Structure 1
Amino acid sequence: MEDYIIKLIFSATISWATTFIIIRKLFSHRSFDFCNRIVSTIHAIFGVCLASLSVQDWRCPVCPLASKSSPWQMKTLAVTVAYMIYDLICCHIGKRVNLDNSVHHLVSIVGIGAGLAHQKCGSEMVAALWITEISSPILHMRELLKEIGYHDTDLNLAVDVLFAFIFSFARMIGGPYLTYVTLTADNPMLIKMMAMGLQLVSIFWFCKIARMVRYKLTKRMTSRKIS
C-alpha cells in the first residue's frame, strides 16, 4: 500500500472523529447516536459524490474491470475505509454494537484494505461504495426523525418507504450485477469474497427491511380502519 494512502487513512480517521466531536458539542442536547448519524450522513453524501467523480466511463460505470485503481479511486476508498474504522470504534464507545453491523464494518475494512494494498479493482469497489451508500442518508434520516419527535407519523412512514425502495433498487438490482462482474473478472480472491460477503449482508438486510415496511404499512392501515 502506498505511503500516502496510509497517511490519508490515518488523517481521515482523525478528521471523522473531530467532526463527531464538533457535532457533539453543537447538539449536546441530543443523543450520542444522533450525533454519530449526522457524521454518517455527511460521509454517505461525500462518499457518493467522490464515487461518482471517480467513475472513468459513465457508459460502463464498473469499467475497466480488474484494472489498476486510479489515484482518485484510491483516495476515495481511503476516505471511506477511514470512516469505517471511525464508525466501528464509535459504535463500541456508544454501545451500539450488534453482530450484523460489526460484520458489515469488518468485511468493508478488510475488502477495501485489500483493494488498496493490491492497487486494483478500483472501478468495482467505487461502484460498491456508490451502491451501498446511496440509501444511507435516508436510512439515517429515519432515525433522526424519530429522535426529534416524528416517530409513527406519515412523514416517518414516507421516509421508511423511500428508504426501502432505494435500498432494494441499489442492493438487489445493482448489487447482484456488480457481484457477478466482480466474481467473473480476474480479481484477487479476497476481493471476490468481499463482493459475495457484501451481497449476502445486503440480502439479509433486504429481508429485514421488507418485513419492517410490511409491518408498518399493515399497522397504519389497521389504525385508519379503526379510527
Structure 2
Amino acid sequence: MTVFVVGSLLCLSFWVSLYFFFCNVNGSRSSEWNCRLVTLVHGILAVCVTAYIGYVDGPWPFAYPGTKNTSLQISALVLSLCYFIFDMAWCVYFRTEGPVMLAHHTMSILGILSTLWLGESGIEGCAVLFGSEITNPLLQARWFLKQTGNYGTWLGTIVDVLFVLLFVLMRIFVGGTMLYCELSSPRPRFFIKCGGVAMYILSWVFMIDIVRFTIRKSKKWQEQQKDLHETVSANGHGTKRE
C-alpha cells in the first residue's frame, strides 16, 4: 500500500509538473492548449506501454481476462489513473467539459482503482486504455489544427476520417469483442464485468455524437460541391456569351 501511495503521488506530481512546464514554455498559449499537450503526451505513452503489455509482455487480453495483475500492468494503470485525476480536476476547475466527458473520466478512475484494489483484471484495464487512448492523438491534433486555422485544409479532413475509422474499429468492434470475452469468461469479477458494460455503453454515446458529426460534415461537403458546381457552370455560361 505504501509503495502504491508513493508511486501515485510521484505520477500525479509528474503530470502536474508537466502541465506547468508547458505553461512556462508556452506562456502566450491558453491553459487549455497546455493541458491538451499533457493529454497528448499521456495518450502516446499509454498507447505505447499498453501495446507492449498486450502484444509482447502478455497475457493476451481476449484469452486470459481476470488474471492477476503484473507489475508492468500496475505501473501503466497507476500512470493513467494519476493522469485522469489531474485532468478531471483541471476540467472541473476550468469548466471546459460536459457531463459525458466527466462521466468518462469518473468511470476510468473508478475502473482503474477497482482493478488495482482487486489485484486482477489488469490486462483488461490495459486493453481498454489502449483502445480508448489510441484515438486521442488524432483528437488532439484536430483541436490544434482548429486553433491554428488549419482545420479547413486537407490535413484536417484526413485527421477527421482517420479518427472516425479508428474510433469505430477500436471502440465499437474490438471493444465489443473484448466485452464479449469478458462477459463469457468465468474469471473476471461481476463488478469488473459491470464496469466493462458501462464503458462500452459510454463508447456508444460517443459514437452517436460522431455519427451526428459525420452527417453534418457530409452535408457541408455536399453543399460546398454544389456551390462549386454552380459557380463553375455560371462562369462557363459567361465565357460563352462573351
TM-score > 0.5, shorter chain as reference? yes
Query: Which amino acid in structure 2 is aligned with residue 195 of structure 1?
Result: G
Report Cα offsets for 1:136-180 as digits up to 9, x if no partner.
Answer: 100111011100111333321221111111111000111111111
Report Cα offsets for 1:39-84 as digits up to 9, x if no partner.
Answer: 10100110011112222347x3444221101110011101011100
Task: Verify: 1:153 aligned to 2:153, yes or no.
Answer: yes
Residues 69 and 121 in structure 1, CA contact (< 8 A), matched pair in contact too: yes
Residues 63 and 181 in structure 2, CA contact (< 8 A), matched pair in contact too: no
Residues 157 and 216 in structure 1, CA contact (< 8 A), matched pair in contact too: no
Equivalent residue number for residue 179 of structure 2: 179
Query: Which amino acid in structure 2 is aligned with residue 196 of structure 1?
Result: V
Cα distance in 1 for partners of 2:150, 2:28 equals: 17
Residues 62 and 127 in structure 1, CA contact (< 8 A), matched pair in contact too: no
What's the offset of the Cα at 1:4?
Answer: 1.6
Equivalent residue number for residue 68 of structure 1: 68
Of the structure 1 ranges 60-69 and 101-110, higher mean CA displacement relative to structure 2 is found in 60-69
Query: Which amino acid in structure 2 is aligned with residue 178 of structure 1?
Result: M
Equivalent residue number for residue 46 of structure 2: 47
Residues 115 and 121 in structure 1, CA contact (< 8 A), matched pair in contact too: yes
Residues 161 and 213 in structure 1, CA contact (< 8 A), matched pair in contact too: no
Residues 46 and 130 in structure 2, CA contact (< 8 A), matched pair in contact too: yes
- 1:63-142 map, 5 Å: 63-142=63-142
Unaligned runs of 5+ in 2: 229-242
SS at match of 1:54: helix
Q: From the CA coordinates, give the structure whose radius of gyration is larger.
A: 2
Cα distance in 2 for partners of 1:3, 1:49 equals: 27
Cα distance in 1 for partners of 2:107, 2:42 equals: 18
- Number of equivalenced pairs: 225
Cα distance in 2 for partners of 1:40, 1:167 equals: 17
Cα distance in 1 for partners of 2:184, 2:6 equals: 33
Of the structure 1 ranges 217-226 and 97-106, higher mean CA displacement relative to structure 2 is found in 217-226
Query: Which amino acid in structure 2 is aligned with residue 182 of structure 1?
Result: E
Cα distance in 1 for partners of 2:166, 2:15 equals: 26
What's the offset of the Cα at 1:184?
Answer: 2.4
Cα distance in 2 for partners of 1:182, 1:137 equals: 27
Report Cα offsets for 1:106-143 as digits up to 9, x if no partner.
Answer: 11101110000011001111111111111110011101
Cα distance in 2 for partners of 1:145, 1:217 equals: 19
Cα distance in 2 for partners of 1:70, 1:133 equals: 21
Cα distance in 1 for partners of 2:153, 2:189 equals: 47
What is the percent sequence identity of the aligned residues? 25
Equivalent residue number for residue 216 of structure 2: 215
